[in-house]
Amino acid sequence: MQDFSKEKIESLVVSWKNHNKNQFWLKKQTAISKYLGEIKRCLASFDEAENEFLQTLYINLSDGNLRSCKILSLGEKFAHAEYFFMDQFFDSNISAFYYDFAFKDRIVGKKELFPKNAVKSVDSVLSGEDKNIVSLYVFIENIVKNFNSYSQERTARDIFKQKLVNFYDELYRLLTAVDSALAIDFFDVALHNQPFVLMEFLKSAINADNFYLIDSYLSDDGMLNLGLAEDGDFAQISREKLYLLASIFAQCNDEFPTLIYRDETAQILSLLYDEKVEIFEEFYEVSSRFIAEFTPYPQDVVGAARIVYSSLFFEYVKNYKSEEVAKNTIFYGAIGTGKTRRLRSLITEKKLATKNFRYVCLHEGFEYCDFIDGFYGESFINGEFKALCKEALKDPKGEYYFLIDNAGAASLDKILGEAAVLLDRRYDENDELSLIRTKNSHIIDSFEEGEKARASVVLKDGRSYFAVPKNLYVLCTLNEYKCVSPSIAKAFRWIRCECDYGALEDYLRDREIVNASAVVAVCKALNKFIADEAKGLGAIGHGVFMGLARYQSGAQIMQEGLNGFFAEVLEPIFRCDYANKSIDFAISKELVEIKDIFKF
């Protein structure tokens, strides 16, 4: 953990205020703020009778055991899941109550697995995320069925059902807007806790006038579950997960808003204020001080949006602060995961003058002389990397960037040569080993003095040396590890870029594609299959999947559109991948298997 001084935080906040105008951060803040507001309204919409029913349901199903798994009988272990898929009920039910539900299309796609009179539970038919999604549907329907016997009014029953569907829908959308990885926690929390318990917990975060109640969930009497224990019952939620979930919703607490809790955020605030942060109340107190002191949000935003921006600042610090991304960094990952975009955006965001950076996209034609130096005809020329090293050395207070896109297309060992060993030993006039003689140094030594100075990064005792200045940042993009030798790899910090399914769904929704969630689910399934089953193929990034928007029909992307996208975009990528890796098995058979996954 770095030592975060007040001055360091202030400089990062200034940088953040430039970055948070970008579409990525703007969309993320907008989505989180929107869903916070919607779930707050949704929780407040349950009336006294509905809350009384949920409390009664909790009492009836708990058996005095806070960790009882009896609730599973309403979801994945309900023996007659087919009841809720019957033709005369299912279609009208979906169109009436689940028309905008995040998992609508996934639920519809599983209807045929639960035929009439099948007597099947969800966990006997499905596994993984499909099991969780269908279990949630059955869970909601069973709760509503219990309410139907509690209330005699059809209108009241329908209103309650829509509120319950909306609650779980908004909860999922909020958690995944914060972090797509929270989808797993959503299903765990939603399916392993009574609605009454979950709603009361969220209300305690949103409406509390202090946060000591949050820590009470860590006591033996704490009612919130997350995961399974060794004895087969549910496990009590952990401290870290409890604080994370509570803080997400406390962002919209009108009186006591707090930042999203992460261990790293707590450590930074603890170091900044030299105070211990062990319980949630202490985290709130340092959060409040930080927000008031540093105001890490645009001046024109108000309310919960200010807190959301402040929370996102720490995500920015984790992923983008230049001190950690700087010097030698390789952004690696699948095609279309935004590696090149990060290089290009850096130029724009830092408002770099042309003299302060070089942007190079490698291909097989690049050689040592293009990067370091060499003869072109009769002339001795400094290469791109060497020229920028000279510029940076003359301007030690400036920042210089050498950006290498597609670094795997040529041998970095070959084109950097001896200079590679200096990437992690930057120039220091008191360190003799921060200088190196290159293969052409002896030639440069023979030049006239003026020409010798022009062709040298450092001249010492009349001899030519190469050096890499401390203020020069070398950033690369790369698809695969194997394109770089271990000797080069050890000099770099490696940052993995992954498919951002949240950004993909936002992109499709912005183009008014109503089944965006279902399309994203298909993309996830494809990448999962590639990771688990495909022999040697690389995953596909969100930048590639965004091309699906061109295949929409009306307001949706149909299976025909998926087929067209696969044939015209994905299959050529896969065939090139196979060819480049010289994989010599039945490519066509493998592609058929992959195509079968790319379906609703």
Q: Flag whether 426 is in a domain.
A: yes
Of 433, 462, 496, the domain-final residue: 496
On the CB side of 445, CA atoms within 13 Å amount to 13
Yes or no: say if 138 and 75 are a contact pair by the CB < 8 Å rule: yes
| 582: pLDDT strictly greater than 60 | no
Query: Both tokens of residue 344?
Result: 């290009």
Query: pLDDT, tens digit, for every residue of 449-508?
Result: 999 999 999 999 999 999 999 999 999 999 876 667 888 888 888 888 889 888 898 889
Q: Are residues 378 and 482 in the same domain?
A: yes
Across 289-303, 321-335, 474-488, 490-504, which has the greatest mean pLDDT?
A: 289-303
Q: What is the pLDDT of residues 133-169, one digit of tens each?
A: 999 999 999 999 999 888 889 999 999 999 999 999 9
pLDDT of residue 144: 96
64 & 204 share domain? no
What dihedral angle (degrees, nearest 10) is formed by the CA atoms of 392, 394, 399, 405? -20
For residues 482 and 492, state if they share a domain: yes
Q: Taken in order 271, 274, 280, 285, is the CA torsion positive or negative?
A: negative
Domain membership flag for residue 455:
yes
**Residue 247 reports pLDDT greater than 90:** yes
Residue 27 falls inside a structural domain: no
Mean pLDDT (whole number) for 394-403: 92
Domain boundary among 479, 496, 513: 496
Q: Is the pLDDT of residue 522 over 60?
A: yes
Does residue 599 have a pLDDT over 70?
Answer: yes
Q: What pLDDT shows up at residue 321? A: 47
Phi first, then psi, for residue 465 (nearest 5°) are: -135, 155
Query: Do 531 and 432 share a domain, yes or no?
Result: no
Confidence of residue 183 (pLDDT cuts 50, 70, 90): confident
User: Is pLDDT of 194 > 80?
Assistant: yes
What is the overall mean pLDDT for the chain? 89
Inside any domain, residue 364: yes
Q: Is the same domain home to 184 and 198?
A: no
Q: Report pLDDT for 180.
A: 84
Q: What is the pLDDT of residue 532?
A: 80
Is the pLDDT confidence value at 359 over 50?
A: yes
Residue ending a domain, among 297, 324, 351, is 324
Asked if pLDDT for residue 584 goes beyond 70, the answer is no
HSE-up of residue 451 (Cα within 13 Å, Cβ side): 10
Does residue 307 sit in the same domain as residue 361? Answer: no
Number of domain units in the chain: 4
What percent of the chain stands above pLDDT 90? 60
The whole-number pLDDT of residue 324 equals 52
- The pLDDT tens digits of the residues spanning 416-450 come to 888 889 998 999 998 999 999 999 999 999 999 99
Same domain, 110 and 163: yes
pTM recorded for the entire structure: 0.61
Query: Average pLDDT for residues 249-271, to the nearest whole number?
Result: 93
pLDDT (0 to 100) of residue 480: 74
Element spanning 212, H or E = helix 212-216
**CATH code (residue 466):** 3.40.50.300
188 pLDDT higher than 90: yes
Question: Is 40 among the domain residues?
Answer: no
Instruction: Look at residue 338 and tell me if it is in a domain.
Output: yes
344 plus 492 within the same structural domain:
yes
Q: Which token pair is 364?
A: 């097989």
Same structural domain for residues 346 and 485?
yes
What confidence score (pLDDT) does residue 433 get? 92
Using CA atoms, how far apart are residues 482 and 486, in angstroms rounded to an integer? 9
Q: What tens digit of pLDDT does each residue of 92-135 get?
A: 999 999 999 999 999 999 999 999 888 899 999 999 889 999 99
Tokens 């007040």: give the residue: 6
Same domain, 309 and 366: no
Task: Say whether both 115 and 231 belong to one domain.
Answer: no
Q: Quick one: average pLDDT of 571-576?
A: 87
Token pair listed for 92: 């009208």
> For residue 119, is it left (φ>0), alpha (ψ between -120 and 50) or beta?
left
Query: Does a structural domain hold residue 36?
Result: no
Q: Where in the sequence is the domain holding 248, given as residue range(s)?
A: 12-19+194-324
The mean per-residue pLDDT over the stretch 45-70 comes to 89
Please state whether beta strands 373-376 and 379-382 pair in parallel, antiparallel, or not at all (unpaired). antiparallel
Q: Nearest to residue 396, comparing CAs of 506, 504, 470, 287?
A: 470
Task: Return the higher-pLDDT residue of 311 and 128.
Answer: 311
Measured distance CA(308)–CA(316) in Å, rounded? 12
Q: Which long-range contacts (CB under 8 A, 24 or more apart) does 523-531 make?
A: 523/499, 523/548, 525/597, 525/598, 526/594, 526/597, 526/598, 527/334, 527/499, 529/593, 529/594, 529/597, 530/594
Q: Are residue 372 and residue 464 in the same domain, yes or no?
A: yes
Q: How far, rounded to the nearest angstrom, does the alpha carbon of residue 246 sit from its chain's CA centroid?
A: 20
Residue 69 covered by a domain: yes
